[in-house]
Amino acid sequence: MLDNKKVTELLRKKGFKVTPQRLAIYNALCNTKAHPNAEMIFNKLQPYYPTMSLATIYKTVDILHEIGLINILNVGEDSFRYDANTSSHAHICCTECGRVDDIMIDFAKCVEEVASQSSYDVHRHQFYFYGTCAECKAKLNSKAKVS
Amino acid sequence: MLDNKKVTELLRKKGFKVTPQRLAIYNALCNTKAHPNAEMIFNKLQPYYPTMSLATIYKTVDILHEIGLINILNVGEDSFRYDANTSSHAHICCTECGRVDDIMIDFAKCVEEVASQSSYDVHRHQFYFYGTCAECKAKLNSKAKVS
DNA sequence: CTGACTGCAAACCATTTGCAGCTGT
DNA sequence: ACAGCTGCAAATGGTTTGCAGTCAG
Protein backbone atom coordinates (compact mmCIF):
# COMPACT_ATOMS: atom_id res chain seq x y z
CA MET A 1 0.00 0.00 0.00
CA LEU A 2 2.62 2.58 -1.03
CA ASP A 3 1.91 6.12 -2.15
CA ASN A 4 2.62 7.21 -5.72
CA LYS A 5 6.01 8.65 -4.84
CA LYS A 6 7.24 5.38 -3.40
CA VAL A 7 5.79 3.35 -6.24
CA THR A 8 7.52 5.65 -8.71
CA GLU A 9 10.83 5.18 -6.95
CA LEU A 10 10.46 1.43 -6.82
CA LEU A 11 9.52 1.07 -10.48
CA ARG A 12 12.49 3.21 -11.54
CA LYS A 13 14.85 1.33 -9.25
CA LYS A 14 13.80 -1.96 -10.84
CA GLY A 15 14.30 -0.56 -14.32
CA PHE A 16 10.67 0.01 -15.29
CA LYS A 17 9.15 3.23 -16.58
CA VAL A 18 6.47 5.03 -14.66
CA THR A 19 3.27 5.51 -16.65
CA PRO A 20 -0.16 6.82 -15.67
CA GLN A 21 -1.62 3.40 -16.45
CA ARG A 22 0.70 1.63 -14.04
CA LEU A 23 -0.02 4.04 -11.21
CA ALA A 24 -3.75 3.87 -11.89
CA ILE A 25 -3.81 0.08 -11.79
CA TYR A 26 -1.83 -0.05 -8.57
CA ASN A 27 -4.02 2.63 -6.97
CA ALA A 28 -7.17 0.83 -8.07
CA LEU A 29 -5.90 -2.26 -6.25
CA CYS A 30 -5.04 -0.23 -3.14
CA ASN A 31 -8.51 1.29 -3.01
CA THR A 32 -10.54 -1.90 -2.98
CA LYS A 33 -11.01 -4.92 -0.78
CA ALA A 34 -12.75 -6.88 -3.51
CA HIS A 35 -9.63 -8.69 -4.78
CA PRO A 36 -10.57 -7.89 -8.38
CA ASN A 37 -9.55 -9.81 -11.47
CA ALA A 38 -8.26 -8.16 -14.65
CA GLU A 39 -11.70 -7.51 -16.06
CA MET A 40 -12.93 -5.91 -12.83
CA ILE A 41 -9.92 -3.58 -12.81
CA PHE A 42 -10.57 -2.81 -16.46
CA ASN A 43 -14.21 -1.90 -15.80
CA LYS A 44 -13.28 0.26 -12.82
CA LEU A 45 -10.70 2.25 -14.79
CA GLN A 46 -12.71 2.41 -18.02
CA PRO A 47 -14.38 5.78 -17.22
CA TYR A 48 -11.03 7.43 -16.45
CA TYR A 49 -8.81 5.64 -18.96
CA PRO A 50 -11.15 4.81 -21.84
CA THR A 51 -8.35 3.68 -24.15
CA MET A 52 -6.67 1.35 -21.67
CA SER A 53 -6.63 -2.24 -22.87
CA LEU A 54 -6.80 -5.51 -20.98
CA ALA A 55 -3.36 -6.36 -22.36
CA THR A 56 -1.91 -3.40 -20.45
CA ILE A 57 -3.57 -4.59 -17.27
CA TYR A 58 -2.12 -8.07 -17.62
CA LYS A 59 1.34 -6.73 -18.39
CA THR A 60 1.17 -4.31 -15.48
CA VAL A 61 0.05 -6.79 -12.85
CA ASP A 62 2.92 -9.05 -13.94
CA ILE A 63 5.36 -6.24 -13.25
CA LEU A 64 3.69 -5.24 -9.97
CA HIS A 65 3.90 -8.86 -8.84
CA GLU A 66 7.52 -9.13 -9.96
CA ILE A 67 8.57 -6.15 -7.86
CA GLY A 68 6.61 -7.43 -4.88
CA LEU A 69 3.83 -4.84 -4.81
CA ILE A 70 0.91 -7.23 -5.22
CA ASN A 71 -0.14 -10.81 -4.60
CA ILE A 72 -1.78 -13.03 -7.18
CA LEU A 73 -4.70 -15.14 -5.94
CA ASN A 74 -6.42 -18.12 -7.43
CA VAL A 75 -9.46 -19.18 -5.48
CA GLY A 76 -10.43 -21.83 -8.03
CA GLU A 77 -12.14 -19.62 -10.58
CA ASP A 78 -11.14 -19.43 -14.22
CA SER A 79 -9.44 -16.06 -13.70
CA PHE A 80 -6.77 -14.74 -11.37
CA ARG A 81 -7.41 -12.07 -8.75
CA TYR A 82 -4.99 -9.43 -7.52
CA ASP A 83 -4.37 -8.04 -4.04
CA ALA A 84 -2.31 -4.98 -3.07
CA ASN A 85 -2.23 -6.15 0.54
CA THR A 86 1.03 -8.08 0.60
CA SER A 87 1.09 -8.69 4.35
CA SER A 88 0.76 -12.31 5.36
CA HIS A 89 -2.94 -13.12 5.53
CA ALA A 90 -5.44 -15.69 4.33
CA HIS A 91 -8.53 -15.39 2.13
CA ILE A 92 -12.05 -16.67 2.40
CA CYS A 93 -14.42 -17.07 -0.55
CA CYS A 94 -18.17 -17.30 -0.46
CA THR A 95 -19.25 -20.29 -2.52
CA GLU A 96 -22.67 -18.67 -3.04
CA CYS A 97 -21.82 -15.18 -4.30
CA GLY A 98 -18.11 -15.48 -5.09
CA ARG A 99 -16.94 -12.60 -2.92
CA VAL A 100 -13.43 -12.85 -1.48
CA ASP A 101 -12.57 -11.41 1.93
CA ASP A 102 -9.37 -11.08 3.93
CA ILE A 103 -8.71 -13.08 7.05
CA MET A 104 -6.22 -11.17 9.13
CA ILE A 105 -4.92 -14.13 11.08
CA ASP A 106 -1.24 -14.95 11.18
CA PHE A 107 -0.45 -18.57 10.48
CA ALA A 108 3.25 -18.30 11.31
CA LYS A 109 3.15 -21.41 13.50
CA CYS A 110 1.61 -23.54 10.77
CA VAL A 111 4.21 -22.30 8.31
CA GLU A 112 7.05 -23.07 10.74
CA GLU A 113 5.70 -26.57 11.27
CA VAL A 114 5.64 -27.21 7.53
CA ALA A 115 9.09 -25.72 7.04
CA SER A 116 10.57 -27.97 9.72
CA GLN A 117 8.87 -31.18 8.55
CA SER A 118 9.23 -30.77 4.80
CA SER A 119 12.24 -31.48 2.63
CA TYR A 120 11.42 -28.26 0.74
CA ASP A 121 12.81 -24.80 1.36
CA VAL A 122 9.52 -23.03 1.94
CA HIS A 123 9.34 -19.51 0.53
CA ARG A 124 5.70 -18.61 0.32
CA HIS A 125 2.22 -19.87 1.13
CA GLN A 126 -1.39 -19.22 0.29
CA PHE A 127 -4.34 -20.20 2.48
CA TYR A 128 -7.87 -20.30 1.12
CA PHE A 129 -11.05 -20.94 3.06
CA TYR A 130 -14.45 -21.55 1.49
CA GLY A 131 -17.88 -21.10 2.99
CA THR A 132 -21.03 -19.02 3.07
CA CYS A 133 -20.76 -15.31 3.85
CA ALA A 134 -23.06 -13.58 6.35
CA GLU A 135 -25.19 -11.99 3.62
CA CYS A 136 -25.73 -15.22 1.75
CA LYS A 137 -26.53 -17.04 4.99
CA ALA A 138 -29.29 -14.46 5.62
CA LYS A 139 -30.63 -14.83 2.07
CA LEU A 140 -30.66 -18.60 2.31
CA ASN A 141 -32.50 -18.47 5.63
CA SER A 142 -35.24 -16.19 4.33
CA LYS A 143 -35.69 -18.39 1.29
CA ALA A 144 -36.02 -21.45 3.52
CA LYS A 145 -38.77 -19.75 5.50
CA VAL A 146 -40.76 -18.88 2.37
CA SER A 147 -40.67 -22.34 0.86
CA MET B 1 -9.25 -44.16 -2.33
CA LEU B 2 -12.18 -46.57 -2.77
CA ASP B 3 -12.04 -49.86 -4.64
CA ASN B 4 -14.00 -50.33 -7.85
CA LYS B 5 -16.91 -51.96 -6.10
CA LYS B 6 -17.44 -49.03 -3.77
CA VAL B 7 -17.00 -46.50 -6.58
CA THR B 8 -19.59 -48.38 -8.62
CA GLU B 9 -22.04 -48.30 -5.74
CA LEU B 10 -21.49 -44.62 -5.13
CA LEU B 11 -21.88 -43.61 -8.77
CA ARG B 12 -25.12 -45.61 -9.05
CA LYS B 13 -26.45 -44.22 -5.79
CA LYS B 14 -25.89 -40.67 -7.07
CA GLY B 15 -27.64 -41.46 -10.36
CA PHE B 16 -24.62 -41.77 -12.62
CA LYS B 17 -23.78 -44.68 -14.89
CA VAL B 18 -20.64 -46.71 -14.37
CA THR B 19 -18.37 -46.79 -17.40
CA PRO B 20 -14.87 -48.19 -17.92
CA GLN B 21 -13.64 -44.63 -18.59
CA ARG B 22 -14.90 -43.36 -15.25
CA LEU B 23 -13.32 -46.20 -13.32
CA ALA B 24 -10.07 -45.83 -15.23
CA ILE B 25 -9.84 -42.11 -14.52
CA TYR B 26 -10.55 -42.59 -10.83
CA ASN B 27 -8.04 -45.46 -10.59
CA ALA B 28 -5.42 -43.41 -12.40
CA LEU B 29 -5.84 -40.71 -9.76
CA CYS B 30 -5.62 -43.28 -6.94
CA ASN B 31 -2.39 -44.72 -8.30
CA THR B 32 -0.37 -41.54 -8.45
CA LYS B 33 0.96 -38.93 -6.08
CA ALA B 34 1.71 -36.47 -8.87
CA HIS B 35 -1.59 -34.56 -8.63
CA PRO B 36 -2.01 -34.69 -12.40
CA ASN B 37 -3.96 -32.29 -14.56
CA ALA B 38 -6.34 -33.39 -17.31
CA GLU B 39 -3.65 -33.74 -19.92
CA MET B 40 -1.43 -35.84 -17.65
CA ILE B 41 -4.34 -38.19 -16.98
CA PHE B 42 -5.01 -38.30 -20.71
CA ASN B 43 -1.42 -39.26 -21.53
CA LYS B 44 -1.33 -41.90 -18.82
CA LEU B 45 -4.51 -43.59 -20.07
CA GLN B 46 -3.75 -43.15 -23.77
CA PRO B 47 -2.04 -46.58 -24.18
CA TYR B 48 -4.97 -48.40 -22.57
CA TYR B 49 -7.86 -46.26 -23.81
CA PRO B 50 -6.62 -44.89 -27.12
CA THR B 51 -10.00 -43.43 -28.08
CA MET B 52 -10.64 -41.59 -24.83
CA SER B 53 -10.95 -37.85 -25.29
CA LEU B 54 -10.01 -34.96 -23.06
CA ALA B 55 -13.68 -33.96 -22.99
CA THR B 56 -14.50 -37.22 -21.23
CA ILE B 57 -11.80 -36.57 -18.67
CA TYR B 58 -13.13 -33.11 -17.90
CA LYS B 59 -16.70 -34.38 -17.63
CA THR B 60 -15.62 -37.26 -15.41
CA VAL B 61 -13.54 -35.24 -12.96
CA ASP B 62 -16.53 -32.90 -12.58
CA ILE B 63 -18.68 -35.84 -11.55
CA LEU B 64 -16.02 -37.35 -9.29
CA HIS B 65 -15.68 -34.01 -7.57
CA GLU B 66 -19.44 -33.61 -7.27
CA ILE B 67 -19.81 -36.93 -5.46
CA GLY B 68 -16.86 -36.15 -3.21
CA LEU B 69 -14.35 -38.66 -4.56
CA ILE B 70 -11.67 -36.16 -5.55
CA ASN B 71 -10.32 -32.72 -4.75
CA ILE B 72 -9.59 -30.05 -7.33
CA LEU B 73 -6.36 -28.13 -6.86
CA ASN B 74 -5.16 -24.89 -8.32
CA VAL B 75 -1.60 -24.11 -7.42
CA GLY B 76 -1.49 -21.03 -9.66
CA GLU B 77 -0.82 -22.73 -12.98
CA ASP B 78 -3.04 -22.31 -16.00
CA SER B 79 -4.60 -25.76 -15.51
CA PHE B 80 -6.34 -27.53 -12.66
CA ARG B 81 -4.93 -30.58 -10.92
CA TYR B 82 -6.87 -33.46 -9.39
CA ASP B 83 -6.28 -35.45 -6.20
CA ALA B 84 -7.98 -38.69 -5.11
CA ASN B 85 -6.73 -38.17 -1.57
CA THR B 86 -9.67 -36.36 -0.01
CA SER B 87 -8.39 -36.43 3.56
CA SER B 88 -7.56 -33.04 5.02
CA HIS B 89 -4.03 -32.19 3.98
CA ALA B 90 -2.01 -29.38 2.43
CA HIS B 91 0.08 -29.20 -0.74
CA ILE B 92 3.51 -27.89 -1.52
CA CYS B 93 4.68 -26.90 -4.99
CA CYS B 94 8.24 -26.59 -6.22
CA THR B 95 8.62 -23.26 -7.97
CA GLU B 96 11.59 -24.68 -9.93
CA CYS B 97 10.21 -27.91 -11.43
CA GLY B 98 6.48 -27.60 -10.77
CA ARG B 99 6.04 -30.84 -8.84
CA VAL B 100 3.29 -30.93 -6.23
CA ASP B 101 3.63 -32.98 -3.04
CA ASP B 102 1.34 -33.74 -0.13
CA ILE B 103 1.91 -32.35 3.32
CA MET B 104 0.25 -34.68 5.77
CA ILE B 105 -0.15 -32.15 8.55
CA ASP B 106 -3.53 -31.48 10.10
CA PHE B 107 -4.40 -27.82 10.34
CA ALA B 108 -7.56 -28.36 12.38
CA LYS B 109 -6.59 -25.69 14.91
CA CYS B 110 -6.07 -23.05 12.23
CA VAL B 111 -9.40 -23.93 10.68
CA GLU B 112 -11.16 -23.69 14.03
CA GLU B 113 -9.60 -20.31 14.67
CA VAL B 114 -10.84 -19.01 11.34
CA ALA B 115 -14.29 -20.52 11.84
CA SER B 116 -14.64 -18.84 15.22
CA GLN B 117 -13.38 -15.41 14.13
CA SER B 118 -15.07 -15.16 10.75
CA SER B 119 -18.64 -14.20 9.94
CA TYR B 120 -18.64 -17.00 7.35
CA ASP B 121 -19.81 -20.56 7.79
CA VAL B 122 -16.56 -22.28 6.84
CA HIS B 123 -17.03 -25.49 4.86
CA ARG B 124 -13.72 -26.20 3.21
CA HIS B 125 -10.15 -24.99 2.94
CA GLN B 126 -7.10 -25.34 0.76
CA PHE B 127 -3.53 -24.66 1.91
CA TYR B 128 -0.72 -24.23 -0.58
CA PHE B 129 2.97 -23.83 0.19
CA TYR B 130 5.60 -22.86 -2.36
CA GLY B 131 9.33 -23.47 -2.28
CA THR B 132 12.23 -25.45 -3.69
CA CYS B 133 12.11 -29.24 -3.53
CA ALA B 134 15.09 -31.33 -2.35
CA GLU B 135 16.05 -32.37 -5.89
CA CYS B 136 16.00 -28.84 -7.23
CA LYS B 137 17.99 -27.60 -4.24
CA ALA B 138 20.67 -30.17 -5.12
CA LYS B 139 20.68 -29.15 -8.77
CA LEU B 140 20.93 -25.48 -7.91
CA ASN B 141 23.83 -26.17 -5.56
CA SER B 142 25.84 -28.13 -8.13
CA LYS B 143 25.24 -25.41 -10.72
CA ALA B 144 26.47 -22.78 -8.28
CA LYS B 145 29.69 -24.73 -7.77
CA VAL B 146 30.36 -25.02 -11.50
CA SER B 147 29.92 -21.35 -12.29
C1' DC C 1 -35.33 -50.02 -25.03
C1' DT C 2 -34.01 -45.47 -23.56
C1' DG C 3 -31.67 -41.96 -21.30
C1' DA C 4 -27.11 -41.18 -20.19
C1' DC C 5 -22.37 -41.36 -21.94
C1' DT C 6 -18.40 -41.01 -25.22
C1' DG C 7 -15.67 -38.74 -28.41
C1' DC C 8 -15.16 -35.77 -32.07
C1' DA C 9 -15.01 -30.99 -33.63
C1' DA C 10 -16.16 -26.46 -32.86
C1' DA C 11 -16.79 -22.83 -29.55
C1' DC C 12 -15.38 -20.27 -25.58
C1' DC C 13 -12.81 -17.14 -22.87
C1' DA C 14 -8.91 -15.67 -19.92
C1' DT C 15 -4.49 -14.62 -21.01
C1' DT C 16 -0.44 -13.81 -24.12
C1' DT C 17 1.93 -12.18 -28.15
C1' DG C 18 3.32 -9.29 -32.25
C1' DC C 19 3.73 -5.08 -33.76
C1' DA C 20 3.16 -0.06 -35.10
C1' DG C 21 3.04 4.13 -33.08
C1' DC C 22 3.68 6.81 -28.73
C1' DT C 23 5.99 8.43 -24.38
C1' DG C 24 8.97 8.62 -20.34
C1' DT C 25 13.63 9.70 -19.30
C1' DA D 1 16.96 10.16 -29.32
C1' DC D 2 15.57 5.64 -28.15
C1' DA D 3 14.34 1.89 -25.28
C1' DG D 4 10.43 0.68 -23.24
C1' DC D 5 5.35 1.17 -23.17
C1' DT D 6 0.45 1.19 -24.87
C1' DG D 7 -3.27 -0.65 -27.22
C1' DC D 8 -5.07 -2.96 -30.93
C1' DA D 9 -5.84 -7.40 -33.17
C1' DA D 10 -4.61 -11.99 -33.67
C1' DA D 11 -2.96 -16.18 -31.50
C1' DT D 12 -2.85 -19.44 -27.71
C1' DG D 13 -4.35 -23.07 -24.82
C1' DG D 14 -7.12 -25.07 -21.14
C1' DT D 15 -11.78 -26.07 -20.72
C1' DT D 16 -16.68 -26.40 -22.32
C1' DT D 17 -20.38 -27.37 -25.49
C1' DG D 18 -23.24 -29.52 -29.29
C1' DC D 19 -24.28 -33.44 -31.28
C1' DA D 20 -24.43 -38.16 -33.53
C1' DG D 21 -23.56 -42.62 -32.48
C1' DT D 22 -22.98 -46.00 -28.58
C1' DC D 23 -23.71 -48.33 -24.28
C1' DA D 24 -25.20 -49.27 -19.37
C1' DG D 25 -29.12 -50.52 -16.80
**Partners of A130 in the β-ladder:** A93, B124
What is the residue extent of each domain of chain A? 4-83, 90-146
Instruction: Give tens-digit pLDDT for A34-91.
Output: 999 999 999 999 999 999 999 999 999 999 999 999 999 999 999 999 999 999 999 9
In this structure, what DSSP letter does residue A33 have? S
> Which positions in chain B touch A96 (Cβ < 8 Å)?
none
Model pTM?
Answer: 0.94
- Residue B65 buriedness (CB in 10 A; 0-12 / 13-18 / 19+): middle
Q: Tell me the residue length of chain A.
A: 147
A119-142 as b/e: b if 16+ CB within 10 A: ebbbeebbbbbbbbbeebbeeeee
Q: Please tell me which of the candidates B94, B101, B125 has its beta carbon nearest to residue A128.
A: B125
Instruction: Give tens-digit pLDDT for B47-84.
Output: 999 999 999 999 999 999 999 999 999 999 999 999 99
Residue A15: pLDDT band with limits 50, 70, 90:
very high
Query: Percent of chain A having pLDDT more than 70?
Result: 99
Residues A7, A23 contacting (CB under 8 angstroms): yes
The CATH class, in words, for B4-83 is: mainly alpha
Taking alpha carbons only, the member of B38, B14, B16 closest to residue B25 is B38
| DSSP labels, A66-77 | HTTS-EEE-SSS
Whether B4-83 shares its CATH topology with B90-146 is answered no
Domain B90-146: give its CATH superfamily.
Answer: Ferric-uptake regulator, C-terminal dimerisarion domain (3.30.1490.190)
Q: Count A/B contacts: CB-CB distance under 8 Å.
A: 108
Question: Measured in angstroms, what separates residue B38's CA from nucleotide D13's C1'?
Answer: 13
The CA distance from A72 to A65, in Å, is: 7
Q: What is the pLDDT of residue A147?
A: 61
Task: Show which positions of strand D are touched by protein (CB under 7 A).
Answer: 4-10, 13-18, 23-25
Q: What is the pLDDT of residue B147?
A: 62
Q: Do B90 and A122 make contact, defined as CB atoms within 8 angstroms?
A: no
Question: Measured in angstroms, what separates residue B55's CA from nucleotide C7's C1'?
Answer: 7
The C-alpha torsion from B131 through B135 and B141 to B147, rounded to 10°, is -110
